[in-house]
Structure 1
């Protein structure tokens, strides 16, 4: 036990990333013990006053926040029974007190820390630890290596690794100072004998070719001997020193952060970063349901048929929608406005598709919008509405478009088993080997290492013993889910080599895949022959294990695309064939909301706004797109207005719905503001639905009316026959 009787010396701690002076405590100053002159104590401390831990000037007999012996009052040693903090607690008293001492010093309460040491008999760290710390910060490498052995680090505990870190720092500092001969000596006599990886040793030796210190620091991302590198080294060495001997820096704060993270993970509706003003140590954190996006604030009604797919631009200011009416629409959202006064403008109606549009995808800079209709891909200039290029390399329905994380190009996949890599301007760069599955969706991981594809085989699995299953699956699953004997797979490709890494067998149609922002998880829609048993799987891409399943929605016949959403992707949201939108807590799998509002038919796709964690959109067979947001402060008052009969129809306007010979899609710039109610009456819906395989031209006309935009409500002017309803 690290304790003293109140009369011995006490080593004094300091944070390694703070300026000199109290609060937060400084890096050690001169001297062998943690930068502070050790004064023999008489088991006491100086009287107040002090202001927030700030010490008096040294002229009053104090040094670095410590009071001279002659001004201290005696502090009696307190002896308590037992070794735990409370009788019914499992917290070790010594560990707790030492952490409190460290925390007091870190924030500048040096006298309080010294008093607690004297009163408790526990010291934060021994003189040996303080001496080791001082050696590292002073660059006394031989002394530091010797001191390391006195801190309980053995070969089995990483002694060689710790010595390598010390020698590496010494080597780099010699190079920085231009002492090439000394650096070469360290490389040969100290680093090489420790048998590091050959590639690592070669990388270090190549640094001798750096032209100057600035080049060295740039190549390593290293700030040199006078920067923070020694302090970072000390933090790295901490891993090899027993924590009971050398307490990790700011350990109490780390424990509090962990408690905060745990509370956050248990808060089902947590959907915003915890700010200092909203986080208190006095109470457990819990978000209110009313702060969660669960009410419709606008209904966008311009499409003339089912809306199959939606996608937010990366700026969050534009929304692209794809429809069975052979058009795609780019909407402008006044994101910075209050929902009560926000305008929803149709920037462009891209109505020059010969087939139903089932996929939209934005480039990273939002300058290009990709669309897919049957086997045809179109590249549109999102700022002008001009179709820049038409790509027809696929032989069957294109089901997926995924941009590379660096924006240099995109990958397309389809039911023809083709996976094609394109440049950003639409030039074919490479065609992958024919996929073993008919690709129903794919996505590139944000870390640029993998491509995850989902799909189905044309023929039933060899394990299927039912001939009827084989006959039913011969067509390739054009409209419905895979039968019980038809095998579907999740295939993970190495993006660099284009070779499959893993392949996981499933049953039931896989209609979409989304990758988490940290590239660790894939979210996969898995349809069922009977809708209630449908599931969305959360797959760990590293272990290839399904770690969570989300259920409660209906998914058996149609293409439904789910997504992550909210702050740090805390939620999973999906449409459903029952016309509702379902939201689950990602970590617990708890079903939080089943949102109503859409009309009859499937809710086909959902998309969470990338810059507003309290906004997402959904699209449906009812021909509408709904914007969902957090209820306003007076939401409970506005519910009394639900019986109001508000006319959302608009007068016919003069609009342009025809593309010109240069490929400009019919565009319009109508606004939709006006008053409304939160739960707008659902629009009538078509009973038909989207499917994996296209069925040719839509039976509904894609005439000029489909290309028209929304008109303003309540006296505004607009183009075409659509409407945009703001529900306020």
Structure 2
């Protein structure tokens, strides 16, 4: 807003409404910020209306935002000097008065000021008044002035004809026992908290932004620019800190910091390795194998730490398919056909063996609050267990033979994938279905129907409401669905879909958001995952023995990582505490750790290979590490 020769413009609602500040408003007080006044500042006249001849940025808007930013960070005298020198002011006296009225609780003056600030009925005048009256009502209740609060409810809030669903919760607050109870039930922090400032932010949307600049507007624009640069950096894998971003240059991550080099090969399992799971603290990696064992590896978070075999859990009757760490990492779950085992991760002792399913347990997931876990099986059952291993609840018989499931981090949904059949599934004592298709390795169901064609296959993703256990969404897809992972913000489900696709489903809209292609998956279970500092990568193994990495939002294939031997790369897992490390496991009996090439040094190993003796007792034998042809890799 430029300072014209006249003291005050007669049209305060104009987007270019100006007023002339007097000398006292332009020259800082001698006491301001502890500085002495420098006297009147000469106004600078510049040609044109933009900040540069070839720029589209309006000079007035730019200067007003700079003034706002200077005030926000404490440079009050500099802001006043810039107002005087440029002839623009951040906001008019009426806007400043309105801001003061809200922050001081002068409600009647604030309501009157709304119309003077250009807020008309069509622009949401009644909604804005409702917000002010609601704040007034809550503050009266907070101070125990119930009669005045009821007067506001009946004579100010109710006549605004707002949605009754808004009024009912407000009226029930009259019954609150005290101020603390009121604040808890209303989700409101009181007159002396931040509620008035939040009210001012909410009212901002009803007032023309040319009059009342949104708070921290310059910082908002810079954040938007930074997020735009991040979205264009397909290898972005750096945290949002000042150390990784500068206003002096556009952001671009160094590709040498992207994990694409094998830094260790863990080679102790005696057969195909099917599944991997990192502990929540990122210090341990669990691997499950066809050799009927689980290994817990100690990896650590530091760059190039020693790797050691922490526990070798061998007491499984069959090959091990699934793993799940408890929230505090003290318990590891493993599944072996219809059995679930609970292990003490420190001692390696089996706490409990659970046999409640009649067919292969194909999915295990701890609930986000750590109170228990959920199991899913090809017997179509989903069970909820307590952290003590006792059954707490069950979904009963579901619509699908479950291949995998996951719980959203916000604890609202369960997403399950699998195969349905129109005819009933009749379990045998061994847990095999008399109508089940051929079973491939990894517990994967084949695609061949029974010879008489009685079985009709349908592959479904079902999203359940965790509270009601009722399906919110059921999607029928053409190929087998072998795994599901949920993004950290609970919005996306990542589903491996055979043949040769990975799908990203938006759980908020119920729509397919992305497809990732290039990897090979036809008959084996492949488990993909999200990765990176913001979960902005999708990583998957493949039946061609490679690891594939895509940019999540742009679906660009970034890398195809080679190194594993023949057979499928069955599972990948990104370290939750180290954004520059992930692991992969393969039919070649090995696990590989992948990290950036920048600053790479060899890892060292202290690994004991435990080979089974008759009777199931292990015998320790040291295995010396060896170096691959790639000098940056180390095998254990």
Given the alignment of the two structures, is residue 606 of structure 1 paired with residue 572 of structure 2, yes or no? Answer: yes
SS at match of 2:23: coil
- Residue equivalent to 2:397: 434
- Residue equivalent to 2:2: 3
What is the CA–CA distance in structure 1 between the aligned matches of 2:394 and 2:319, rounded to whole Å?
A: 25
What is the CA–CA distance in structure 2 between the aligned matches of 1:143 and 1:552, rounded to whole Å?
A: 64
Change (3 A) 1:402 1:648: closer
- On the 8 A contact 1:9/1:39 being kept in 2, the answer is no
Given the alignment of the two structures, is residue 72 of structure 1 paired with residue 33 of structure 2, yes or no? Answer: no
1:571-606 deviation line (CA, Å, top 9, x unaligned): 111111111111111111111111112111111001
What is the CA–CA distance in structure 2 between the aligned matches of 1:274 and 1:677, rounded to whole Å?
A: 36
What is the CA–CA distance in structure 1 between the aligned matches of 2:195 and 2:177, rounded to whole Å?
A: 21
Change (3 A) 1:129 1:304: same
Q: Structure 1 residue 362: deviation in Å? A: 0.9
SS at match of 2:474: strand
- Residue equivalent to 1:29: none
What is the CA–CA distance in structure 2 between the aligned matches of 1:142 and 1:673, rounded to whole Å?
A: 81
- Residue equivalent to 2:194: 228
- Residue equivalent to 1:143: 109
- Residue equivalent to 2:635: 725
TM score, norm. by length of structure 1? 0.77
Q: Structure 1 residue 124: deviation in Å? A: 2.0
- Residue equivalent to 1:476: 437
- Residue equivalent to 2:71: 105
In structure 2, the gaps of 5 or more residues are: 10-19, 424-433, 450-455
Q: Structure 1 residue 441: deviation in Å? A: 0.9
Given the alignment of the two structures, is residue 246 of structure 1 paired with residue 212 of structure 2, yes or no? Answer: yes
SS at match of 1:298: strand
Q: 1:492 aligns with which of 442, 449, 463?
A: 463
- On the 8 A contact 2:102/2:200 being kept in 1, the answer is yes
Q: Structure 1 residue 669: deviation in Å? A: 8.7
- Residue equivalent to 2:479: 508
- On the 8 A contact 1:458/1:476 being kept in 2, the answer is no
- On the 8 A contact 2:309/2:606 being kept in 1, the answer is no
Change (3 A) 1:170 1:355: same
- On the 8 A contact 1:486/1:507 being kept in 2, the answer is no
Number of paired residues? 606
SS at match of 1:567: coil
In structure 1, the gaps of 5 or more residues are: 11-37, 47-54, 461-472, 529-533, 639-645, 683-723
Q: Structure 1 residue 614: deviation in Å? A: 1.0
Q: Structure 1 residue 275: deviation in Å? A: 1.9
- On the 8 A contact 2:306/2:604 being kept in 1, the answer is no
Q: 1:352 aligns with which of 307, 311, 315?
A: 315
- On the 8 A contact 1:101/1:113 being kept in 2, the answer is yes
Pairing of 1:280-299 with structure 2 (within 5 A): 280-299=246-265
1:139-169 deviation line (CA, Å, top 9, x unaligned): 1001101111211222332222221221121
Which of 214-223 and 263-272 deviates more? 214-223
TM score, norm. by length of structure 2? 0.87
- On the 8 A contact 1:487/1:507 being kept in 2, the answer is yes
What is the CA–CA distance in structure 2 between the aligned matches of 1:392 and 1:666, rounded to whole Å?
A: 23
Pairing of 1:389-400 with structure 2 (within 5 A): 389-400=352-363
Q: Structure 1 residue 76: deviation in Å? A: 4.0
Which of 259-268 and 670-679 deviates more? 670-679
- Residue equivalent to 2:223: 257
Q: Structure 1 residue 509: deviation in Å? A: 1.2
Q: Structure 1 residue 197: deviation in Å? A: 4.3
Which of 290-299 and 105-114 deviates more? 105-114
- RMSD over aligned CA atoms reads 3.2
Which of 590-599 and 478-487 deviates more? 478-487
SS at match of 1:412: strand
Change (3 A) 1:143 1:392: same
What is the CA–CA distance in structure 1 between the aligned matches of 2:4 and 2:223, rounded to whole Å?
A: 34
- On the 8 A contact 2:268/2:609 being kept in 1, the answer is no
Pairing of 1:465-614 with structure 2 (within 5 A): 475-476=436-437, 478-479=439-440, 482=447, 486-528=457-499, 534-614=500-580
